[in-house]
Chains A and B, each alone.
Chain A
Amino acid sequence: MDFLRPATWQDALAVKAERPDALPVQGGTDVMVEINFDRRRPAALLDLTGVRALADWDPADGRLRVGAGVPYARLITELGRSLPGLAQASRTVGSPQIRNRGTVGGNLGAASPAGDGHPPLLAGDAVVEAESAARGVRMIPVAEFFTGVKRTALAPDELIRAFWAAPASGPQYFSKIGTRNAMVIAVCSFAVALHPRERRVGTGLGSAAPTPRRAPAAEAFIAHELDWDGRGPLSEAAARRFGELVAEAASPIDDVRGTGDYRRRALSVMARRTLTWAWNDHRAGSTGSVGSLGREAS
């Protein structure tokens, strides 16, 4: 096995072009488990932790460009206000030790249907910035990034540079079902983001289908239903229907963590509750869950 340590982003792209068989490693919280258990023997490891630029984030064009190597712990402390949905999801990832190392770049690269970063990125219309030495930058909407279970739209010579997302313009919530409060892979998860300026609601479902996905019918229904001008209350019936449409967008499997029926039911409950919290925050004139621990979904 080779161990490749590029010091700059340009070097990293050049190495990846020359060695498409090299497996990128950032926090290692997915990669090292596979190596320790002999599930994977890549010809080479491409260590990205020496590439400083990946660990930075910057405002750009009214959006945030967040380097693929920013760990969850820093997303929570540094970006909790601007990306509250993602920060809430980040708080549920693994343990403090895992959050000190694990990154959204790695979450995207692993492309697990259960990855906790994915639902808030979907709900917030995030875009993945991928790059190769040969073809330059390619902007891939997160909704198009996942192509199958643990498969992504990345070409063999491409690396993830960053993700782009607008700072929250309304309340955002993330909710996750698991057997305890820490260290659990989601049985299923759900993220909602209100975009009041555009009168739109974004959604993201996790552990609910072969890939993370949105619930377009639920989004369209509720965008029309909400009283954006008067900020009137959300009717019980509309919230319930929203939950049903979210559940219908899922195609969950039965596995050791839960049955498909349970997942559908849980998704409808999480969707109804998180939407209600978000809309109530919006009515109260706050952007909501900023800096808080989020709320228990159960």
Chain B
Amino acid sequence: MTTETKELKALAAKIRIAALTAINSIGSGHTGGALSIADALAVLYGREMRVDPANPSWPERDKLVCSKGHAGPAVYGTLAVKGFFPYEELRTLNQGGTRLPSHCDRNKTPGIDMTTGSLGQGVSLACGMALGEKLRGRDSRVFLIVGDGETNEGQVWEGFSFASAKKLGNLVVLLDWNKRQLDGWTVDIHDMGDFEAKFKAFGFDTVKVNGNDVDELAAALERTRKGGDKPYAIVMDTVKGAGIKEVAETAMNHTYPVTDENLAIWKERLEAEIKELEG
């Protein structure tokens, strides 16, 4: 394993601890969908994105839209680990008056670039942001995380066809293909078929990777730096609940309790992993 791989894996573990810590403060939350994107967030914020935690609204930064806004705690965990705001603040998740509501809110949280929560809307927002960067002549890029269940929304596909039609090569879609949505398995509820083929048909430069593997993610993201005329799609084959066996192995894990007891056990496991990686 390269040093960078180790660093990114350790960061992903730290993001998992941070997200679980936040969710633990209210006992339960959207645990499955937060865990599935921890590795992608680690590679984005640990390697790919141009951001400055001390200056979260720096106009030249790269931007993230987490369109599956219910995964807020995973993004907050990432931002806290990266120093956008004090780590202890994770404990205020969903408390009255908090800067960390369950769904991402650009007006509340330092480092959150867009407000999401009504599934589908983040896609169009990200398209507008990517278009805006181009119109402003900036080389900033927009990264867009979309849930697989979320793609049931027609707006998602309106946005994707817009991105392609307007040649938004500065837009990178990361599809969290974790195979589950709220009511269960996506194939049972509303089978979306072959995402790779769909993205290609919509004119995206498309790759499929193991979305819980930091090396594969890093390589796929690096490819997108060349920009060009086509938007990028990375179909991330992930596990809903990845990194925490008990969550991953529970079929209905859209929400999953993070009790004090669970947190202690999971934290210990993840901390041991970090220790080993950091030598």
Q: Are the chains A and B members of one assembly?
A: no
> Which residues of A approach B to under 8 Å, CB–CB?
none
> Which residues of B approach A to under 8 Å, CB–CB?
none
